[in-house]
Amino acid sequence: MGDTGEIDVARRAMNKAMLRILPFLLLAYIMAYIDRVNVSFAALQMNVDLGFSATVYGFGGGLFYIGYALFEIPSGAMASRFGPRQWLARIMITWGLLAVGMIFIRSAQQFYLMRFLLGAAEAGFFPGIVYYLSHWFPKAYRGRAVSRIYIAPALAGVVMGATAAPLLGLDGLGGWRGWQWVFLAQGLPAVLMGLAILRFLPDRPDEVDWLEPDEKAWIADVLARDAALIGHADRHDLLAVLANPTVWLLGCTGFLLNGAMNGFVLSAPAILAANGGLDTKTIGWLVSLGGFNGAIVILLAGWYSDRTGDRLRYAAAFGAIAGLGLLLIGLAPSPGAVVAGYLMQTAVSFAAGGLVIASWPDALPVRQLAMGSGAINTLWQLGSFGSPYAFGAVRDTTGSYHAGLLGSAGLALVYAGYVLFVRARIRRMQNR
């Protein structure tokens, strides 16, 4: 096949795959992220109703990530065994039911338990998506594919910001508080989406009738060539995955990034109210705007990183910008500066992580990708646990979010430098 013919086949195959597959996964991940962090809006009423201090809330918010981390590697192994489509559907149905179950919490202990179970149920979801995409999209298209999924957290911010205030405004309807309506209305759609994935999402390119034979052959051929460039893993069991230094290098990037960002994410509405003096409706629209900006940056970053092949350099730059945004919020002397810092942070923070995630299939042998992604994400989630708890504890001790914001800003700058180090190490290992 000539170059022109191959380019035409590639364009047709990738356009079809992106149109048929990515909308399902994008919508699913939006629901996942909403159910993970909608507690940040619910807390505006829930913490008062149930008498939760900032430390109690932060500890419970962080327990989600402990459950996620403990079950991440086993969940990755199950995705490899049963197939990513079936496992993604199982995850969605389970976590959707648990997300709805949050309406019944009445004590700190129940809050802790439900957040832990929600994390355990969602474990393996995003690594499962990355593993699934590795069966469809070659390296030259993977940044765009992952970025078009990873805009989900940003778009979830748009949805949450637009809907949280009206849902909180249902306070008293049916005898329920507004925070209970938040959990109900944002949890049920995940169950329905899990059933839709099970019914409509295909497993592999060779199983569908909407790809032509030459398109299927092109995908298989290019995926094989990409795998050959990374190298073959004779073993793909847990010990072999943990012995791969690339897993640890990539895992520590997320440990730092999530440690820098998650305390802020789970407390953002409260921070904007305290530091910026904003009301709930204004906060909602600001969160929506931040999510929209973040989605645009992620798409542009994914497209550009595919053209250059250098994802980690830009991930480092975005991490540094996010750190400067957090620094501005912590030091801001005026509400306008707080808003500017928030928009700065939300514009780039998801792209900082998304570009690293897009590099996982570039750096790991395909036989280690499912379990390796789970191992990497375990370290990411461990970083997520400590940050909300530390944020809450510092808030209760000092009476403000100032120290937490400055600490998060510093950690984001450390992340930026570390990603450049990882970039250099991976390049040396692949050029041996």
Confidence category of residue 321, pLDDT binned at 50, 70, 90: very high
Q: Which letter does DSSP use for residue 231 in this model?
A: -
* Mean pLDDT for the chain overall: 86
Report pLDDT digits (tens) over 185-217.
988 999 999 999 888 888 889 889 999 999 999
Quick: pLDDT tens for 45-101: 999 999 999 999 989 988 988 888 888 778 877 877 777 788 888 999 998 999 999
Token pair listed for 211: 């790809």
Q: Quick one: which of 295, 216, 197 has its CA closest to 17?
A: 216
Distance CA 188, CA 179 (A): 15
- The residue assigned the tokens 């507004």 is 178
Q: What percent of the chain is predicted at pLDDT more than 90?
A: 36
In this predicted structure, the answer to whether residue 176 has a pLDDT above a threshold of 90 is: yes
Residue 377 and residue 126 in contact, taking contact as beta carbons nearer than 8 Å:
yes
pLDDT, tens digit, 9 for 90 and up, residues 21-51: 999 899 998 998 888 888 988 998 999 999 9
Residues 6 or more apart in contact with residue 213 via CB below 8 angstroms: none
Average pLDDT over residues 159-185: 90
What is residue 16's predicted lDDT score, i.e. its pLDDT?
A: 94
**Contact criterion met (CB below 8 Å) for 22 and 349:** no
Q: Are 262 and 383 in contact (CB under 8 A)?
A: yes
The pLDDT score that the predictor gives to residue 211 is 93
**Residue 105 in 3-state DSSP?**
coil
3-state SS string for 245-294: HHHHHHHHHHHHHHHHHHHHHHHHHHHHHHHHCCCHHHHHHHHHHHHHHH
| Mean of pLDDT values over 326-344 | 90
Q: Which pLDDT band, with edges at 50, 70 and 90, does 298 fall under? A: confident
pLDDT of the residue at 146: 77
Q: Distance between CA 224 and CA 98 in Å, rounded? A: 40
Provide the CATH topology of domain 20-200+220-430: Growth Hormone; Chain: A; (1.20.1250)
**Model pLDDT, residue 425:** 87
What distance in Å separates the CA atoms of residue 409 and residue 324, rounded to the nearest whole number?
6
Residue 316 to residues 274, 370, 418: CA-CA distances in angstroms?
A: 30, 25, 8
Q: How confident is the model at residue 230 (pLDDT cuts 50, 70, 90)?
A: low
109, burial (CB in 10 Å: exposed 0-12, middle 13-18, buried 19+) = exposed
339 — pLDDT class (breaks 50, 70, 90): very high
Judged by phi (left if over 0) then psi (alpha if -120 to 50, else beta), residue 350 lies in alpha
Contact 356, 130 (CB under 8 A): no
Placement of tokens 């990873």 in the chain: 150
Q: pLDDT digits over 147-157, tens only?
A: 788 788 888 88
Q: Where are the alpha helices (DSSP H) in 38-124?
A: 39-50, 54-82, 84-101, 108-122
* Among candidate residues 131, 179, 159, 137, the one with its CA nearest the CA of residue 32: 159
Question: Tell me, what's the pLDDT at 354?
Answer: 84
pLDDT score for 393 = 87
Which two structure tokens, joined as six digits, stand for 328? Answer: 């501005």
Task: List Cβ neighbours of 73 (8 Å cut-off, separation of 6 or more).
Answer: 238, 371, 374, 375, 378
Closest CA to 401 of 349, 320, 329: 329
15 Cβ neighbours under 8 A, 6+ residues apart: none
Domain boundaries, the chain: 20-200+220-430
Q: Is 172 exposed, middle or buried (0-12, 13-18, 19+ CB in 10 A)?
A: exposed
DSSP state of 103: G
Vertex 383: Cα angle to 49 and 181 (nearest 5)? 30
Distance CA 184, CA 180 (A): 6
Name the helix (H) or strand (E) containing 102.
none
pLDDT at 370 (0 to 100):
65
Is residue 329 within 8 A of residue 181, CB to CB? The reply is: no
- Name the amino acid, one letter, at 269: P
Is residue 246 predicted with pLDDT exceeding 90?
no
| Residues whose CB falls within 8 Å of the CB of residue 358, separated by 6 or more in sequence, listed in order | 142, 143, 146, 147, 150, 302, 305, 311
